[in-house]
Structures are given as structure tokens and as C-alpha cells.
């Protein structure tokens, strides 16, 4: 219709009307482009909110996973300290509890990093939908390192190999069968609970021999103490990762309306 109007006005040499027609066309195109841009921007803002909520969910799962690991490590440390006290001559600790503590101190578990949303945002370029540069930098900083692969939290001290290479297999099997890990679901993955107490159905003579064997091992106390130090370092670092998760969650919450 506009084209017919322009053609008529040109034919009539009504140049002012032609100018008005062209102005209407240009203005209409401009408005159309602006509306399209606004729609794209609104869609981007909506998607950014969805992605940030997913990041929050992943961070919460990180915290749940790490806390499960911290609970596990607390039990491992208690067993290790029981064994240390036995080696220091505490008469209240039986041979059975010494052997159990020495073995349970070798137990390991892990925490899982939840990076699916971040990896998706990075690979598709959707990370740029987040317009707040400070928040974006904080997200980059948090996910720059996969905490589940950091050497300080995956390091395994020689004590595990040391004990499991010396302790009779029958004793190890009894502890695993009667007081071993209990697997449970956490944060879309799994973790384990280590029973905090343990009593074995094993002959006293076998326990006594195992205890004497452990006490006779060269550097038994040194290796156990180093094991505790390694695990304490792991715990400290996991606690820092929890703190960083909470900081990022708080920043995202402030960013969300």
C-alpha cells in the first residue's frame, strides 16, 4: 500500500507527500528493528536468569557433596586418633579397637564437582548473556579449577598402601564386611558414610596377632601421623571450597531480582 501511495505521489509530483511516505517507511523499519532487538535482549535476560538459577543449583550440590566428604573425613580422623593413642600406650584402647582404627584410617572417599551448567555456558557462548562483569568474573574464578581434581584433595598418603600391604587379608575383609562404607545418593551422584563405631566378630587371638604385627612395623606411627596431616590438609581445602561456593551463591542471589 505504501508503494502504491509513493508511486501516485511521484506521478503527481507531490514531493512533500513522497517525503512523508518515505519517512513513514524508515520509521516503521526502525521501530521493527528496535522491537526485534528488545525481544532478543529480553530473551537473553530471561535465559541468563535460568542459567544463574542452574549455577546456584550446581553450587548447592557442590556444598552437599563436599559436606558429605567432610563428614566422612571426620570419622576417618577419629579412627586414626584412636590408633595413635593406642600406639602412645593408652591402656583403655583394646587391641581390637587399635586394629580397627589403624585400618579405618586408610579409608578414602571423594567429592564430586558439578560443572555441567558452566561447561554448557562456556561451550555455547551463553556465558556472555551475563552482563554483570564482576559476577561473570566471579563465576570464571570459581570454575577455573575443578576442586575434585586438585592435588591437595586427591593426594593419598603412603599409609594406605603401608597398612593394607601388611594387615592380614582376613582381618581387612572382616572390617570391610562388618564396618565398611555405606553408599548413599547425594547431589545427583553418590558418596559414602563410614560407621563411627565398629565391633568385629573375629577370634581374639587373630586380633591380638594383628595388633602385635602393626606395633612391630617400622615407622608405623610416622606413617599414621603423616596420613592424618594429609587428610587434615584435604579437609582444610574442602572447607575453603565450601566458602567459595557460598560466596558465589550469595553474589548470584544479589544479582537476581
Print burial letters for 140-174: b (CB count within 10 Å at least 16), e (below 16): eebbeeebbeeeebeeebebbebbeeebeeebbeb
What gap in Å lies between CA 59 and CA 252, rounded to an integer? 11
Question: Is the CB of residue 182 less than 8 Å from the CB of residue 109?
Answer: no
Residues 6+ apart with CB under 8 A from 34: none
- pLDDT for residue 17: 60
- pLDDT for residue 76: 98
- For residue 192, list its beta bridge partners: 183
**What is the distance between the terminal CA atoms of the chain, rounded to a whole angstrom?**
45
- pLDDT for residue 21: 59
Question: Is the CB of residue 95 less than 8 Å from the CB of residue 208?
Answer: yes
Q: C-alpha grid cell for residue 124?
A: 555455547
pTM for this entry: 0.84
- pLDDT for residue 206: 97
Identify the three-state secondary structure at position 241.
Answer: helix
Print pLDDT tens along the chain (257 aa): 555 654 565 555 555 665 665 666 666 666 666 655 555 465 557 888 889 999 999 999 999 999 999 999 999 999 999 999 999 999 999 999 999 999 999 999 999 999 999 999 999 989 988 889 999 999 999 999 999 999 999 999 999 999 999 999 999 999 999 999 999 999 888 999 999 999 999 999 999 999 999 999 999 999 999 999 999 999 999 999 999 999 999 999 987 75
Amino acid at each position: 500500500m505504501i508503494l502504491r501511495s509513493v508511486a501516485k505521489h511521484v506521478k503527481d509530483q507531490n514531493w512533500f507527500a513522497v517525503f512523508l511516505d518515505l519517512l513513514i517507511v524508515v520509521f516503521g523499519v526502525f521501530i521493527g528493528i528496535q522491537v526485534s532487538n528488545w525481544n532478543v535482549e529480553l530473551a537473553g535476560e530471561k535465559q541468563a536468569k535460568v542459567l544463574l538459577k542452574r549455577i546456584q543449583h550446581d553450587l548447592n550440590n557442590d556444598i552437599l557433596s563436599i559436606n558429605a566428604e567432610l563428614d566422612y573425613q571426620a570419622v576417618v580422623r577419629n579412627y586414626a586418633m584412636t590408633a595413635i593413642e593406642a600406639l602412645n600406650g593408652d591402656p583403655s584402647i583394646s587391641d581390637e579397637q587399635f586394629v580397627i582404627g589403624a585400618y579405618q584410617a586408610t579409608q578414602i572417599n571423594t567429592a564430586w564437582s558439578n560443572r555441567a551448567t558452566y561447561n554448557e555456558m562456556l561451550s555455547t557462548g551463553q556465558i556472555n548473556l551475563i552482563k554483570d562483569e564482576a559476577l561473570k568474573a566471579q563465576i570464571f574464578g570459581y570454575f577455573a579449577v575443578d576442586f575434585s581434581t586438585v592435588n591437595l584433595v586427591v593426594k593419598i598418603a603412603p599409609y594406605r598402601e603401608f597398612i593394607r600391604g601388611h594387615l592380614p587379608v582376613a582381618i581387612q575383609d572382616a572390617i570391610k564386611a562388618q564396618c565398611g562404607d555405606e553408599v548413599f545418593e547425594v547431589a545427583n551422584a553418590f558418596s559414602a558414610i563410614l560407621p563411627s563405631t565398629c565391633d568385629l566378630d573375629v577370634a581374639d587371638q587373630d586380633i591380638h596377632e594383628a595388633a602385635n604385627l602393626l606395633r612391630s612395623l617400622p615407622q608405623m606411627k610416622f606413617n599414621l601421623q603423616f596420613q592424618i596431616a594429609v587428610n587434615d590438609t584435604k579437609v582444610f581445602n574442602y572447607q575453603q571450597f565450601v566458602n567459595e561456593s557460598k560466596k558465589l551463591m550469595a553474589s548470584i542471589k544479589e544479582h537476581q531480582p
